[in-house]
Amino acid sequence: TVQHLFKQIFKASLDLQKVSSQKTLLVSRKQKSEDTVVQIDDVKIGAAGHPQMFVGPCSVESLDQVRQVAAAVKEQGLFILRGGAFKPRTSPYDFQGLGVEGLKILRQAGDEFGLKVISEIVTPGDIEVAVEYLDMIQIGARNMQNFELLKAAGKVDKPVLLKRGLSATIEEFIYAAEYILANGNTNVILCERGIRTYERATRNTLDISAVPILKQETHLPVIVDVTHSTGRRDLLLPTARAALAIGADGVMVEVHPDPETALSDAKQQINIPQFREFMSELKGTKIASV
C-alpha cells in the first residue's frame, strides 16, 4: 500500500541519518583513514608489518615471579609486559589481586628490563594510582560497558587497551572505544579475546573475523588475546599464527614461571620454556601455498 511505502521511506530516512552519524564516530576509518599508531617512547603498536607481543602472568603474585617473566620477554627481544593487579573474579572468595602493590612490582620489573607495562583497572577510582605506575591501561572484558570507567580512561594521557566484552557485538565494541575517544584519549588498542558461545571445547570462541572487521571499520590497532580466547595451551600457537596471518597488530599471551601454582588461570598459562618454544615456532611460521 502507499501508506506502507511512505512508512518505509520514512524508515529509510532514519537509517540514512543513522549511517551519517556513524560516519562521524571518532574511531571510524571514515573519520580518519590512516592507521592510528600508539606510541610509548620508541615502542609502536599498530605499525603495519610490526606486530607486538603482550606477555606476562595472569596475576602479579610476587616480584620474583614477574622478574622471571620479564627476563624471558626481554630475552625474546620483545617490549611489553602485562600482569594483573586488580583482578575481576567470578567469586568473591577467589584471589582478588595484589592491588597497588602489584602495580609497583610491575613497574619495578618493567624498569629493570626496559619493558613497557600494562595492567587492568576495574573502577574509576583506580585510575589515578594506575597512571602513576603503568605505561598502558587495560579495560577488561567484564568492564567493556562500564561506561564510567571508559569515560575516566578517556581523560588520562596513557594508552588504553580495551578488551571486547564476553558477548559484545562488534558494533558495541566500537561504541565502547568511542566513549574513550569522545573523552579525549585517542590512543586506544582493541583486543579480541573470544566470545561466549555454546561450544565448550574452548573457553571462549575466538572470533577471528572480528580482526579484519575492526581494522576496516576503525583506524585503531587490533590485537588478539590467544590465552582467553581458547583457554588451552595447545591452541596458543595455532591461534597466534591465525591472528598474525589475518592482520592483527599484536598477540597477548599469558606466561607464568610455574603455571600449576598460579593463583588464577592455572590451566591456560604457559611456563617460560614453553614460551620460548612458542616464540620460536611463531617466528618460524610458514603458510602452505595453495
Is there binding between residue 274 and a second copy (CB under 8 A)? no
Give whichever of 110 and 194 is closer to a second copy, judged by the CB atom: 194
Stretch that binds a second copy, among 29-37, 130-138, 168-176, 267-275 (CB under 8 A): 168-176
**Smallest separation (angstroms) from a second copy to the CB of 108:** 25
Give whichever of 63 and 238 is closer to a second copy, judged by the CB atom: 238
With left for phi above 0 and alpha for psi between -120 and 50, is residue 265 left, alpha or beta?
A: left
* CB distance 78 to 70 below 8 Å: no
Site residues (CB under 8 A) for a second copy, limited to 17-56:
19, 21, 49-53
- x-or-dash string of contact with a second copy, 97-126, rule CB under 8 A: -------------------------xxxx-
Interface with a second copy (CB under 8 A), residue from 75, 132, 155, 167? 167
Q: Which residues of 72-101 are buried (b: 16+ CB within 10 A; e: fewer)?
A: bbbebebbbbbbbbbbeeeeeeeebbbeee
Is there binding between residue 145 and a second copy (CB under 8 A)? yes
Q: Which residue in this structure is represented by grid cell 585510575? A: 127
Number of residues that bind a second copy (CB under 8 A): 87
Is there binding between residue 149 and a second copy (CB under 8 A)? yes
**39, three cell numbers:** 606510541
DSSP 93: T
**Smallest separation (angstroms) from a second copy to the CB of 167:** 4
Give whichever of 42 and 199 is closer to a second copy, judged by the CB atom: 199
**4, three cell numbers:** 506502507
- In angstroms, the CA 149 to CA 139 distance is 8
Rg (CA), the chain: 20
Is there binding between residue 3 and a second copy (CB under 8 A)? no
- In angstroms, the CA 97 to CA 88 distance is 8
